[in-house]
Amino acid sequence: MAKVSSNSHKTGWEPVKTSAAERLEERRHRADLIELFKIYKGFTTVHFESLFILDLAKLSKPGCQKDVRKYFFSHRVINRWNVLDEETVSSSSINVFKNRFNKIRMTGMGYFMDWF
């Protein structure tokens, strides 16, 4: 929240506004992780082993020759998935996963920042 200056006609606190593009990107990252959770738990017909390599409870990235590969779903979600704690990853249902993930988002400032 940002404090409004005393010269302004408004008083009090106002929320800091984020751009529509930032909110859209955050929603895309959230949807990607929810979809990966569904694949990981077998809630979809997509086979986990066909897209990902599980190495000591973490996903690993296969090497790639082309720059285009880094934009594929199976490549762009790995770093964010590996940051999640074991409790969140081992959730029993999609709703439990969403609730735990939302708690991480609220406490972990900048979780969706593109620092990967």
Let me know if 19 is exposed, middle or buried by CB neighbors in 10 A (0-12, 13-18, 19+). exposed
Instruction: Give the whole-angstrom CA distance, residue 3 versus residue 12.
Output: 7
Residue type, 110: G
Residue 56 covered by a domain: yes
User: Is residue 14, in this structure, part of any structural domain at all?
Assistant: no
Instruction: Classify 55 as helix, strand or coil.
Output: strand
**Does residue 7 sit within a domain?**
no
Burial class (CB in 10 A: 0-12, 13-18, 19+), 80: middle
Q: Does some domain include residue 1?
A: no
Q: pLDDT digit string (tens) for 13-37?
A: 555 566 777 788 888 889 999 999 9
Residue 55 lies in a domain: yes
Is residue 78 assigned to a domain? Answer: yes
Q: Is the pLDDT of residue 115 over 50?
A: no
Q: What are 47-89's pLDDT values in tens digits?
A: 888 888 888 878 887 776 777 777 788 888 998 999 899 999 9
Does 10 score more than 70 pLDDT?
no
**What digits encode the pLDDT tens for the residues 84-111?**
999 999 999 999 999 999 888 888 655 5
Tell whether the model's pLDDT for residue 112 goes beyond 70: no
Q: Check pLDDT > 50 for residue 116.
A: no
Cα separation of 24 and 32, whole Å? 12
Other Cβ atoms within 10 Å of 37 Cβ, number: 23
Domain count, the chain: 1
Tell whether the model's pLDDT for residue 11 goes beyond 80. Answer: no
